[in-house]
Chains A and B, each alone.
Chain A
């Protein structure tokens, strides 16, 4: 079974609008972390935002916020005021594991295109 599911292979958004990229996860570990990474066409993997499973508040980093709904096992990324430079592939990832052995699992990604 997929541990990280990103159901939107591709999305469009108008410049300056907000967009939500979906991510659901599956784990039985009580302690886990959720991440979003951006991968532009140049290929590098850029860390955007992190949410810990015990964090009470949703994570925010500038224009990025993570809508964490633990009961629904979802960790959607919200990008506010989209910019042309936001056009990229976005990966949701989960870190699970205890006792010093961690696994990082990635979703299949969502390609976002910001329109002028």
Chain B
């Protein structure tokens, strides 16, 4: 079965640079979530999109922005990178259900290292 695809899998950037992370959800999934997981930390919710509209916002810095495109893929844009942005960035996708049995499936993550 198709899974969530994230690219790139690894990324090295320098301070003050920009980075773009891409996420391709499971086909027919209509919701995308972005998470940031620092070393030894639990995943922190950043932002989510439902049917190409921003659905909810978590602890996403103002330096970051994201969008979901017409083909449902999503991109997380990160500017003015800081050392503390080094983390594993997960994308997850789900299919909204009226019964509430929605389950999100995670991609393999993009490991970002800021030097």
Chain A residues engaging chain B, CB cutoff 8 angstroms:
31, 33, 35, 37, 43-47, 50, 52-54, 91, 95, 97, 100-109
Contacts and interface: CB of A to CB of B under 8 A. Distances in A.
A43 B48 contact: no
A40 B111 CA distance: 15
Interface stretch (B13-21, B66-74, B101-109): B101-109
Interface string B88-114: 101010001001111111101101000
A35 B103 contact: yes
A31 B101 CA distance: 10
Q: How large, as a class, is the contact surface on chain B?
A: 20 to 34
A43 B107 CA distance: 10
Contact of A100 (B41, B42, B50, B90): B50
A44 B109 contact: yes
A45 B102 contact: no
A33 B48 contact: no
A108 B55 contact: no
Contacts of B58: 103
B45 A52 contact: no
A97 B102 CA distance: 12
A91 B101 contact: no
Interface of B: 31, 33, 41-45, 48, 50, 55-56, 58, 88, 90, 92, 96, 99-106, 108-109, 111
Contacts of B105: 47
For A44, A53, A91, which residue has the most chain B Cβ atoms within 10 angstroms? A44
16 contacts: A35-B103, A35-B104, A43-B109, A44-B106, A50-B101, A50-B103, A52-B99, A91-B42, A95-B102, A97-B56, A100-B55, A101-B56, A102-B56, A106-B42, A106-B44, A107-B42
Given A31-B100, A108-B42, 16 more contacts: A33-B102, A35-B103, A43-B88, A45-B106, A45-B109, A50-B103, A52-B99, A53-B100, A91-B42, A95-B102, A102-B56, A103-B58, A104-B45, A106-B42, A107-B42, A109-B42
B101 A100 contact: no
